[in-house]
Chains A and B, each alone.
Chain A
Amino acid sequence: MNKKLKQFLNSFLLIELLKGLAVTGRHMFSRKVTIQYPEEKTPQSPRFRGLHALRSYPNGEERCIACKLCEAVCPAAAITIEAGVRESDGSRRTTKYEIDLFKCIFCGFCEESCPVDSIVETRVFDYHFEEQGAQIMTKEKLLEIGLLHEEQLAKDIESDAKYR
């Protein structure tokens, strides 16, 4: 009975509601947590898995040796590789290396499986496609991205090396 009365008074005199109002009232003056996106960005881990890239050695030679481990491990079957002999020196290289970003689930397995740290995922997450077919990252595009972000990529891989 006593409990019931207390409950009745609490709701009838709007006490609980006023408590709720006090909470939002307090929060109105609290520090805002919004991050102003294009100007500010959230911190990223060195293991961040964004847009893919193919790395090259400092002398300009591509790292990829067409072992096809990434293609095998890819759970979404997003990677297509065709291998062949390079005309100039007879070494085994990819003649086609494509990642379909619509299929990719950004799991990072390709990066894990790569024996030569060739295929990597950069920190780039804000990109878009403007026409159909542009989601297929060809070998040229991937190498270009790799060159663009080489400094950052090398640093991230370096910082993560001792945990591998």
Chain B
Amino acid sequence: MSEAPAVGETPRYYVPHTSVWPIVGSVALFIMAYGLVTMIHQTTDKVAAEGTHGVWIFYIGLGIVAFMLFGWFGTVIRESVTGMNSGLMDRSYRMGMQWFIVSEVMFFAAFFGALFYARVISVPWLAGAGSNLETHTFLWPDFADVWPLFMTPGGTETEAMEAWGLPFINTVILVTSSVTVTFAHWALKKSQRIALGVWLAITVLLGAFFLLLQVVEYAEAYEELGLTLGSGIYGSTFFMLTGFHGAHVTMGTVMLAVMLFRVFSGHFTPENHFAFEATSWYWHFVDVVWLFLFTFVYWF
């Protein structure tokens, strides 16, 4: 922080107008949360709630969130384009995005923690490891400690997802997309607008292709392998980790598509393109998470 400017040349720190978007977002999140719970209650057997309006409430909330993001980011873009942002503010945005990614890392850490706990502790213990022989003998004497868990203590069976099929192809796709988004960034910094558009478009397509293959993989898991959310801790961790990762890829692809649209609209200069950079950070983060996923969920 030693680069803080001297007094005379203090930059303006733009403190925005009152803004309507945060409260719109808060209300939308509330509607989404209420709709989601209502939808879950109406569609799962545990709570027999009447009706089907939950899903519509959820979509309304989601729609308002999208509207809010559109409006909020639109405002920020206008401020940026009209030069209201100082270098100091640019750094605030950068740091904000970096800490947001840190928080996302910790969100995934919770699910990876569950995976490692199951593999290293709960499954061996249920099979009698350590001082747990009695649990094994009296509760589930037939249960064996293997991973992937082909049969749960309760007797639910499943097959494992093979790492070197679709998942490996997806790994190649995602790593390639991290490279192409970097090429796009280099092109942007050299003002090569056509190369920028091409590389970015390729990145978006790779993201979408990854998602498509993920859907194919899920269909295969459910229909051919019998691997479902309900097939024990292997299925639970598999779908929780890949599902949340997939949700992040979806978000990332949408963000990249928005960047592509902004490139077509002539936004971004070699010096000022924070939104593009933030998106590419996010994309690299999603990529790195996938490498961990591929290693610990599919491979070993």
Q: Do chains A and B stick together as partners?
A: no
Interface residues of B (CB under 8 A from A): none
